[in-house]
């Protein structure tokens, strides 16, 4: 049975009892889900191999996919790594706490299964009052992947976590919906030129404004290369019904929809407000304006969870621009999709 605590994130000081109960479970090597500013995480003591093993079990996660380690303060990053290069220091100053994860050489403090045998460790400081309070109360670094069953869309509400993991985890702190809606940007800082391994809540432009030119893992742009971030190779974010991405004009999208409906298919739609406004109101989820991709990011994962297999045969998803937050949005949509319909 999973303990659920409801906490108002604006008033964490009034909920220290619940935070301490959750921290106590973590100290007993149990796993507890908690909100961060990006998505809900499934936390366990990163220094305990047994606790970390429970994360992999609860999620059904492949053991060669390493976890991100969360700490409350930048001084604690030093305890986990051999060295913090200049580029990493600058990014820490600009974006931590925040939706950025940096990969550095591990000093071996974390349990071996956290890093899945790699010599490096991924570290982040979440910008969320509940996550920070839990990190402080538990007094250990917390390994925490997204709190979904492996392969499913990441959870942006406690209800999503409950759907996937009820009965499989000791605790769940419900701190309301998360803010960013997509996971952190993962940047490898172990070589001279930092490399973005996973686009996320901090855009490439923001990073370049802070530290100058960065590279992007070539595997992100092709299906041929082996990704450097092990997690990027697995099926991810999959909705219940098959997702088809539609890349073209609104007229093209509407044509594809009509053709499929003519064949008797029941279609769910995930689209911008602008496209949704042109469609009949049936089975359409509008995620936000295509001119405000930050808003689209907030609603994307709950949209992917919304359509049930019993109700729709195919989900048609609108392809967005890959500028700014669009880089992360399209990375997730491309992974979630089984097929792409291109106009050009």
> Are β-strands 41-45 and 142-143 bridged in parallel, bridged antiparallel, or unpaired?
antiparallel
Which residues 172-191 are close enough to bind ligand TXA by CB under 6 A? 183-184, 186
* By CB under 6 A, residue 41 contacts ligand TXA: yes
Note whether 87 and 147 are within 8 A (CB).
Answer: no
Residue 212 C-beta: closest distance to ligand TXA, Å: 22
Residue 340 C-beta: closest distance to ligand TXA, Å: 22
Residue 122 C-beta: closest distance to ligand TXA, Å: 3
Which residues 145-184 are close enough to bind Mg ion by CB under 5 A? 146
Instruction: Spell out the residues 6+ positions from residue 267 whose beta carbon is closer than 8 angstroms to its own.
Output: 257, 260, 261, 283, 312, 313, 314, 315, 316
Note whether 172 and 162 are within 8 A (CB).
Answer: yes
Task: Output 65 or 206, the one with its CB closest to Mg ion.
Answer: 65
Stretch (H or E) spanning 136: helix 129-138
* Piece in contact with Mg ion (CB under 5 A), picked from 111-119, 142-150, 263-271, 320-328: 142-150
Task: Output 98 or 246, the one with its CB closest to Mg ion.
Answer: 98
Single out the residue of 46, 39, 98, 103 nearest to residue 69, CA to CA.
46
Residue 211 C-beta: closest distance to ligand TXA, Å: 19
* Piece in contact with ligand TXA (CB under 6 A), picked from 2-10, 21-29, 113-121, 217-225: 113-121
* By CB under 6 A, residue 101 contacts ligand TXA: yes
Residue 293 C-beta: closest distance to Mg ion, Å: 20
Residue 150 C-beta: closest distance to Mg ion, Å: 8
332: left (phi over 0), alpha (psi -120 to 50) or beta: alpha
Residue 166 assigned ligand-binding role? no
Stretch (H or E) spanning 296: helix 293-306
Q: Which letter does DSSP use for residue 65 in this model?
A: S
Report the chain's C-alpha Rg in angstroms: 20
Beta partners for residue 5, in sequence order: 173
> Are β-strands 215-216 and 195-198 bridged in parallel, bridged antiparallel, or unpaired?
parallel
* Piece in contact with ligand TXA (CB under 6 A), picked from 59-67, 280-288, 307-315, 330-338: 59-67
| Cα 306 to Cα 133: distance, rounded to the nearest angstrom | 31
* Piece in contact with ligand TXA (CB under 6 A), picked from 10-18, 83-91, 98-106, 301-309: 98-106
Please give the residue whose beta carbon sits closest to ligand TXA in the complex: 231
Residue 38 interacts with which of Mg ion, ligand TXA, none, CB < 5 to 8 Å by class: ligand TXA
Report the interface residues with ligand TXA, using CB under 6 A.
36, 38-39, 41, 65-68, 99, 101, 103, 115, 118, 120-122, 124, 126, 144-146, 183-184, 186, 197-198, 229-232
């Amino acid at each position: 049975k999973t303990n659920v605590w409801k906490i108002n994130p604006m008033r964490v000081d009034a909920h220290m009892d619940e935070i301490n109960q959750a921290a106590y479970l973590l100290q007993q090597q149990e796993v507890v889900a908690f909100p961060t500013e990006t998505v809900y995480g499934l936390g366990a003591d990163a220094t305990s191999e047994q606790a970390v093993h429970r994360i992999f079990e609860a999620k059904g996660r492949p053991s060669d996919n390493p976890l991100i380690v969360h700490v409350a303060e930048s001084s604690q990053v030093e305890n986990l790594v051999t060295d913090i290069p200049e580029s990493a220091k600058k990014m820490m100053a600009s974006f931590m706490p925040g939706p950025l994860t940096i990969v550095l050489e591990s000093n071996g403090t974390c349990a071996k299964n956290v890093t899945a045998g790699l010599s490096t460790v991924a570290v982040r400081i979440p910008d969320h009052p509940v996550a920070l309070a839990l990190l402080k109360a538990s007094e250990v670094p917390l390994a925490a992947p997204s709190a979904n069953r492996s392969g499913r869309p990441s959870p942006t509400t406690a209800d999503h976590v409950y759907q996937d993991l009820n009965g499989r985890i000791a605790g769940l702190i419900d701190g309301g919906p998360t803010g960013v809606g997509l996971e952190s940007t993962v940047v490898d800082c172990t070589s001279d030129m930092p490399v973005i391994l996973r686009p996320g809540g901090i855009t490439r432009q923001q990073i370049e404004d802070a530290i100058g030119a960065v590279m992007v893992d070539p595997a992100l742009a092709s299906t041929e290369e082996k990704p450097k971030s092990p997690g990027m190779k697995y099926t991810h974010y999959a909705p219940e019904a098959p997702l088809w991405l539609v890349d073209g004009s609104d007229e093209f999208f509407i044509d594809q929809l009509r053709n499929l409906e003519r064949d008797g298919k029941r279609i769910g739609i995930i689209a911008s407000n602008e496209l949704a406004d042109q469609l009949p109101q049936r089975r359409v989820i509008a995620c936000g304006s295509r001119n405000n991709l930050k808003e689209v990011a907030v609603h994307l994962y709950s949209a992917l969870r919304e359509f049930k297999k019993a109700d729709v045969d195919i989900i048609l998803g609108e392809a967005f621009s890959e500028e700014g937050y669009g880089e992360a949005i399209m990375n997730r949509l491309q992974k979630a999709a089984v097929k792409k319909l291109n106009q050009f």
